[in-house]
Structure 1
Amino acid sequence: MVTLEIKKREKEDSQKLGKERLIPAVFYGKKEKSTSISVKLNDFLKVWKEAGESSVVSLRGDGEEKEALVYEVQWDPVTGLPRHADFYVFEKGHKVEVKVPIEFVGVAPAVKELGGTLVKVLHELNIEAEPRDLPHEIKVEITPLTNFESRVLAKDLKLPPGVTLLEKPDEVVALVEEIKEEVVEEAPPPDLSQIEVEKKGKKDLPAQAGEEVEGEAQAPIQEGKKSSAPESKKSSEGKKSS
């Protein structure tokens, strides 16, 4: 069991605690009144790394010692350091319900030999136990995942003595999925016959326009022929008079 030195505090300025490298905290329980305390930042980080939320922590200070669990931690989104911590003081001889992290161990044959992808469906397990029997994590073997139909279920897990699983027995903990290549459909080839028809249509239009233009151009020529007739008549009359 890890030990954390605590100090009872009154309502203090949080900036003052920060300068002293202390974080505000509180402990409480069913038969324990809420009490404000402060803990050293570095000491808390060591305890958090070792105990997490599922191991018993001995809170020691001011001539008292209480066994508790880290119930909740508020983290600073900018610095990533804890801003506040809650400790739950439990009753001795009574079981508690907690979530314990899962640690996956081993290599799945379906990943190594078949090229699949490991899917971790659950990352925590709900369990019940007396505080002193609570494990820091639950180890889950993934070597039984030999193919894409294999599953690791909650009922398959080996739990430490004194620990009761609260998950549904058939809850899937892990599996391996087959990597499927995405088939890209090729675009159909263009309809060349349709393109030819469109091209021919475009050639016909200028030809028709050109015919109309030629027809309009012939009109002055015909008018010119009509005007040449009187000239020839005058010349013939001139011959007669001579």
Structure 2
Amino acid sequence: MVVLKTEKREVFGKKLKEARSKGKLPGIVYGQGIREPIPVFIVKDEFKKIFKQARETDFIDLMFDEGKKSVLIKDIKTDSASDEPIHIDFFAPRLDKPIEAKIPLVFVGESPAVKLGGVLVKVMHEILVKGLPKEIPHQIEVDLSLLKNIEDRITVSDIKFPTGIKSLAKEKEVIILATLPKKEEEVVPEAAPLLEDIEVVKKGKKEEEGEEVEEASGAKKPEEKKKEEKKK
């Protein structure tokens, strides 16, 4: 069990700025057996060390002058700029009443399907369970060796949960599956134009340009000259 010492807190609001500058982290404790919420200070660096290891389902023993209290981290407020914790809510649950919690999934072992050229697609990374607070596991393991062939999948029904822990996810929900990698679409390059086609186009342009020049200069076409001679 992780232990964290507390200090009685009688400072609130804007006055907390000075306390935070001295490495103190304000918090509040409430829940089962606590008539009124208890304002506390804890050492910020000590909390950060614990938080790297503890999850929302891990109990922490808060030490008071009059004894200790087993609590869970209920909420953490952080600074928007530095992302450092600035306030902690600790909750003391009833130990005889089931609670719901999201537990991380940890994938262990090797999948034979990968050796066949398959790739693994993770659909779920955590799972919602229900159980007594002290029985909630730190994590749930998923055995990848169950994925033997391409298109095999592991569903919630394939997971063995600890005694007293019930999954709140549907049994048919897929956790991870083995599939073939997607093939990249081949880009077919456009055929380059033939040299003959390029020359024909160029000639056509020159002829058109020549006609435009004649019309612009007022030069008459041979057909127009013959018509004028007949009239005479």
Contact 2:116 2:150 in 1 (8 A): no
Residue 89 (structure 1) shift: 0.8
Does residue 4 in structure 1 map to residue 4 in structure 2?
yes
Identity within the alignment, %: 34
Residue 112 (structure 1) shift: 4.2
Residue 153 (structure 1) shift: 1.0
Supply the distance in 1 between the matched residues of 2:114 and 2:81 (Cα, whole angstroms).
37
Choose the corresponding residue for 1:22, options 18, 21, 24. 24
Aligned to 1:83: 86
Does residue 103 in structure 1 map to residue 140 in structure 2?
no
> Which consecutive unaligned segments of at least 5 residues does structure 1 have?
217-242
Contact 2:95 2:134 in 1 (8 A): no
Supply the distance in 2 between the matched residues of 1:129 and 1:113 (Cα, whole angstroms).
39
Choose the corresponding residue for 1:184, options 183, 186, 211. 186
Residue 132 (structure 1) shift: 1.2
Bigger shift: residues 3-12 or 149-158: 3-12
Supply the distance in 2 between the matched residues of 1:147 and 1:101 (Cα, whole angstroms).
25
Does residue 41 in structure 1 map to residue 44 in structure 2?
yes
Supply the distance in 1 between the matched residues of 2:205 and 2:191 (Cα, whole angstroms).
23
Choose the corresponding residue for 1:135, options 130, 134, 137. 137
> Which consecutive unaligned segments of at least 5 residues does structure 2 have?
220-232
Q: How does 1:1-242 map to 2 (within 5 A)?
A: 1-12=1-12, 13-29=15-31, 32=34, 33-116=36-119, 118-190=120-192, 192=194, 195-205=198-208, 208=211
Residue 42 (structure 1) shift: 2.5
Q: Given the two structures, how large is their TM-score scaled by the length of structure 2?
A: 0.79
3-state DSSP class of the match of 1:70? strand
Contact 2:118 2:178 in 1 (8 A): no
Supply the distance in 2 between the matched residues of 1:44 and 1:55 (Cα, whole angstroms).
13
Larger Rg: 1
Change (3 A) 1:168 1:31: farther
Supply the distance in 2 between the matched residues of 1:87 and 1:110 (Cα, whole angstroms).
45
Change (3 A) 1:81 1:147: farther
The amino acid that maps onto 1:63 is E
Aligned to 1:239: none
The amino acid that maps onto 1:169 is E
Q: Given the two structures, how large is their TM-score scaled by the length of structure 1?
A: 0.76
Residue 196 (structure 1) shift: 4.9
3-state DSSP class of the match of 2:56? coil
Supply the distance in 2 between the matched residues of 1:212 and 1:19 (Cα, whole angstroms).
89
Residue 23 (structure 1) shift: 0.9
Calculate the aligned-residue CA RMSD, in Å.
Answer: 2.9
Supply the distance in 1 between the matched residues of 2:53 and 2:90 (Cα, whole angstroms).
15
Supply the distance in 2 between the matched residues of 1:63 and 1:98 (Cα, whole angstroms).
30
Change (3 A) 1:79 1:147: farther
Contact 2:118 2:179 in 1 (8 A): no
Count residues with an aligned counterpart: 216
Residue 81 (structure 1) shift: 3.1
Supply the distance in 1 between the matched residues of 2:83 and 2:214 (Cα, whole angstroms).
84
Aligned to 1:221: none
Supply the distance in 1 between the matched residues of 2:209 and 2:53 (Cα, whole angstroms).
88
Deviations 1:99-136, CA, capped at 9 Å, x for gaps = 111221122233344152x3222221111111111111
Residue 78 (structure 1) shift: 4.5
The amino acid that maps onto 2:141 is K
Supply the distance in 1 between the matched residues of 2:84 and 2:112 (Cα, whole angstroms).
39
